[in-house]
Amino acid sequence: MAIQHTVVFRLVHPLDSPESAAFLADAREQLTSVPGVQHFAVHRQVSAKSALEHQFSMVFDDEAAYEAYSAHPTHTAFVAERWVPEVAEFQEFDFVDAA
Amino acid sequence: MAIQHTVVFRLVHPLDSPESAAFLADAREQLTSVPGVQHFAVHRQVSAKSALEHQFSMVFDDEAAYEAYSAHPTHTAFVAERWVPEVAEFQEFDFVDAA
């Protein structure tokens, strides 16, 4: 079953700063290079009921593709080198179709 | 600009119970009857990194359509009569395309 993997987050950088734009562009370039990543999208989170400001969303065909992405060296390097130092706060959610 | 309104939530009912199924079915029926609601979807939230269990997602053409939905008596009655008593925990997020 297809899985939509999402993470809603707030960067340490000011919204719409050059540093924020660079993070989003680099994330798109690096993460979409990982096999299995489909429908990669970047959204702004605009509800005042959350302090988080962006969302990454991507779709995997199945759990195996998701696990291969998580373990892929491009993904783990991105997490270590960019995500950890540049993300102030985040929450992951993964969605599947309801039964 | 189109807005994707989402809420991730956990019901007071056990997952996959008849009460849970009734809540989800009634929500779909009632909320999709409100003008302006597009692409209504119910998802299971399956990441172990969140205790929330379901997501409602819907799309509005613009902020005016979203506000009309929020104020619509079918929506406000659903919130008062079903959401408040049957939802244990929730988080809203609204997404727009990144600039």
Q: Sort B36 into a burial class: Cβ within 10 Å, 0-12 / 13-18 / 19+.
A: middle
Among A42, A50, A92, whose Cβ lies nearest the Cβ of B93? A50
pLDDT band at A5 (very low <50, low <70, confident <90, very high): very high
Tens-digit pLDDT profile for residues B43-90: 999 999 999 999 999 999 999 999 999 999 999 999 999 999 999 999
- List % helix, strand, coil for chain B (3-state, nearest 5): 35, 35, 25
Q: Sort A25 into a burial class: Cβ within 10 Å, 0-12 / 13-18 / 19+.
A: exposed
Q: Which of A53-57, A78-82, A95-99, B21-25 has the lowest mean pLDDT?
A: A95-99
Which residues of chain A make contact with B8, given a CB cutoff of 8 A?
A: 93
Domain of residue A33, residue span: 3-95
Token pair, residue A91, equals 């929450």
Number of structural domains, chain B?
A: 1
3-state secondary structure at position A68: helix
- Mutate which of B5, B17, B26, B93 to test chain A, going by most A C-beta atoms within 10 A? B93
Which residues of chain A make contact with B99, given a CB cutoff of 8 A?
A: 16, 44
3-state secondary structure at position B67: helix
Interface pTM (ipTM) of the complex? 0.94
**Min distance A43 CA to chain B CA atoms (Å):** 5
- CATH code where residue A70 lies: 3.30.70.100
Question: How many angstroms separate the CA atoms of A40 and A58, rounded?
Answer: 4
CA A28 to chain centre: 9
Nearest C-alpha neighbor of A78 from the set A41, A32, A39: A32
